[in-house]
């Protein structure tokens, strides 16, 4: 049975209850993190906690815990579940407010909810075939650097992609690639890895950060620069990156094959380099 941490107490996940007057429920007024665990060790916790703090500071929700409290919570979540690899979900909302009002009352107590899922590797068949994407106009707000729980536009864009017969969407703003519906985007142009630079329109993905580091270490040239639709269409490889997918190859974009229409050689090389980086991390892990 999965367990949940809700406002300072453990309970069975299916027995966890919040008030409908919680601002997270009424307004989507909250932020979250998804943190991968490999071999029962939290991966890149520091960067995840830094991003959580960024989301909380930007939304002016007080951080209810110290980094050590968060570390302990992650550790306890892992201990309470049997899986070797897990995906920890942490959510902080501005809290319960009895009177519905857009303006938050002072002195609200943030609601903290956390639970764990098994992190299963993507099916080998998916990695063999890759996925198909279409480009869509990004309909989200101008603060996508905040990992907000308010994901309705992401859901609508993903549904639009699936209704069009694709697996996912790559979001465009002013003719430039932004990111995926729940991932960052990277392209390969001959031997160079290119990804859009960070700004308020996209999330600073931790997988993006680690992959860029690993790519540089492996001698790949890495560029953070704007990617036009033409460049996306002419890329040799396209990947979606996230904590749950790592790097997922896109083999078709807007109905056209990407490169040879199969997962590319640089993706294969980077997948191996990323796996090696995870292994080094697990071996060097010191609590």
What residues line the site for ligand PDD (CB under 6 A)?
34, 179, 182-184, 203, 205-208, 241-244
With H, G, I as helix, E, B as strand and everything else as coil, classify residue 88.
Answer: strand
Closer CB to ligand PDD, residue 23 or residue 48?
48
Give the residue with the Cβ less far from ligand PDD, 157 or 188.
157
Least gap, CB of 190 to ligand PDD (angstroms): 25
Among 147, 158, 245, 278, which one carries the catalytic annotation? 147
Of 131, 137, 134, 140, residue with least CA distance to 202: 140
CB-nearer residue toward ligand PDD: 96 or 167: 167
Q: How far is the CB of 193 from ligand PDD (least distance, A)?
A: 15
Say whether 52 sits in a helix, a strand or coil. helix
Q: Would you give the DSSP letter of residue 19? A: -
Whether 111 contacts 92, CB under 8 Å: yes
The CB-side HSE value for 178 (13 A sphere, CA atoms) comes to: 27
Q: Alpha-carbon distance 84 to 162, whole Å?
A: 32
Q: Which helix (H) or strand (E) holds 212?
A: helix 206-217
**Cα(104)–Cα(124) distance, integer angstroms:** 47
CB 270 within 8 A of CB 248: no
Residue with smaller CB distance to ligand PDD, 96 or 131: 131
147 included as an active-site residue: yes
Which residues belong to the active site? 147
């Amino acid at each position: 049975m999965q367990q949940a941490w809700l406002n300072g107490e453990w309970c069975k996940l299916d027995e966890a209850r919040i008030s409908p007057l919680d601002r997270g429920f009424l307004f989507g007024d909250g932020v979250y993190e998804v943190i991968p665990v490999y071999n029962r060790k939290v991966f890149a916790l520091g960067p995840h906690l830094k991003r959580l703090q960024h989301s909380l500071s930007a939304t002016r929700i007080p951080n209810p815990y110290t980094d050590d409290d968060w570390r302990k919570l992650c550790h306890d979540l892992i201990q309470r579940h049997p899986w070797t690899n897990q995906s920890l979900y942490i959510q902080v909302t501005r809290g319960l407010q009895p009177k519905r009002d857009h303006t938050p009352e002072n002195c609200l107590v943030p609601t903290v909810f956390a639970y764990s899922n098994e992190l299963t590797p993507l099916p080998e068949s998916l990695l063999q075939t890759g996925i198909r994407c279409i480009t869509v106009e990004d309909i989200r707000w101008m603060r996508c650097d905040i990992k907000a729980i308010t994901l309705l536009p992401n859901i609508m864009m993903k549904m639009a992609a699936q209704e069009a017969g694709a697996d996912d969407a790559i979001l465009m703003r002013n003719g430039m690639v932004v990111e995926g519906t729940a991932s960052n985007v990277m392209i390969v142009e001959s031997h160079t890895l290119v990804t859009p630079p960070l700004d308020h329109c996209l999330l600073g993905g931790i997988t993006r950060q680690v992959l860029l580091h690993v790519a540089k270490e492996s001698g790949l040239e890495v560029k953070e620069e704007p990617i036009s639709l033409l460049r996306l269409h002419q890329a040799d490889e396209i990947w979606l990156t996230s904590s749950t997918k790592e790097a997922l190859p896109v083999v078709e974009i807007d109905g056209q094959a990407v490169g040879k229409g199969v997962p590319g050689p640089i993706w294969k090389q980077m997948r191996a380099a990323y796996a090696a980086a995870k292994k080094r991390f697990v071996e060097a892990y010191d609590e």
